[in-house]
Amino acid sequence: MRPRKLLRAAAALAALALFTTACGADGHPGSLSADAAAGKLTIGIRYDQPGLGEKTLNGKFQGFDVEVARYVAGELGVKPENITWKEAQPANREKLLTGGQVDMVVAAYTISDERKKLVDFAGPYFHLGQDLLVRLDDNSITGPESLNGKRLCTTVGTTSAQAVKDQFAHEVTLVEYPRYTDCITALLAGLVDAVTTGDVILAGYAAQNPELLRVVGKPFTNDFYGIGLRKGDPNGKARVNAAIEKMVSTGAWTAAAKANLGASGYQLPKPPAITER
């Protein structure tokens, strides 16, 4: 091989090595790591869950999930003002990730084997159980087994109500609405008899209507919230897990949980260990 060709080949190999190193550090184009390296992230959250993820009337975003998302973004080098928030409803969380519309989803997103076929999870960052929200004066519902002949509400894209029907009360009537706030309205209007989802979500709604609603207080599942990520980005996943662990170890996790969930009277769990490696 001629000297000039040798030089060109060496330059090409050096460029390839530099590109590979850059991808290892910042991730491939379009990945969480690459977007964070550019200083901006788009994060999916809920807009309608008091205490967890809520968009207020003046356009601010607040809640425990929001604080977790901000902390993780900060550890990835992204300032709060460079986060774009996008509503992530249960029915479209996977689509937002697989379609590249968001970099991560922090939206009361329960880790499950079925969901892991489409997306990756980091975490978990919160431990909870499924429970029931009922009208304050209704003493007939004491747990999922007492729902036969009742109307049970949940949102489109979740499996919690169907699990109740399959495992506890085969004769319950399932009712679905686009949002949990629709379920709450239906419950207050007597159109449904109970609402089911994670106990921490229900506690937030009960705190908004303490004279009308109550959580039964008998969780019947053992679930974990994780941060949803696109598949194929192990570096990004590792960095998110490291951020969650730091949030816990520094006490920021506990402070955020107390500030956003404490007012509802919800019994805060201990932060879970990272299992999604």
Rounded Cα–Cα distance for residues 260 and 53 (Å): 10
Two tokens at 98? 């697989």
From first to last of its 277 residues, the chain has per-residue pLDDT tens of 454 554 454 444 444 333 333 444 566 788 999 999 999 999 999 999 999 999 999 999 999 999 999 999 999 999 999 999 999 999 999 999 999 999 999 999 999 999 999 999 999 999 999 999 999 999 999 999 999 999 999 998 888 899 999 999 999 999 999 999 999 999 999 999 999 999 999 999 999 999 999 999 999 999 999 999 999 999 999 999 999 999 999 999 999 999 999 988 899 999 999 999 9
Whose tokens are 């084997």? That residue is 113
Q: 145-149: long-range contacts (C-beta < 8 A, 24 or more apart)?
A: 145/169, 147/172, 147/193, 147/194, 148/172
Q: What is the pLDDT of residues 84-126, one digit of tens each?
A: 999 999 999 999 999 999 999 999 999 999 999 999 999 999 9
Q: What is the side-by-side strand order in the sheet with 61-62?
A: 48-49, 53-55, 61-62
Q: Which residue has 């249960």 as its token pair?
A: 90
- Three-state DSSP at 214 gives strand
The answer to whether the bond into 124 is cis (omega within 30° of 0) is yes
pTM assigned to the model: 0.88
pLDDT in tens, 59-74: 999 999 999 999 999 9
**Full DSSP string of 61-122:** EESHHHHHHHHHHHHTT--GGGEEEEE--GGGHHHHHHTTS-SEE-SS-B--TTGGGT-EEE
Residue 8's pLDDT is what? Answer: 54
CATH number, domain 31-120+224-264:
3.40.190.10
Q: Could you tell me the fold of the domain covering 130-215?
A: D-Maltodextrin-Binding Protein; domain 2 (3.40.190)
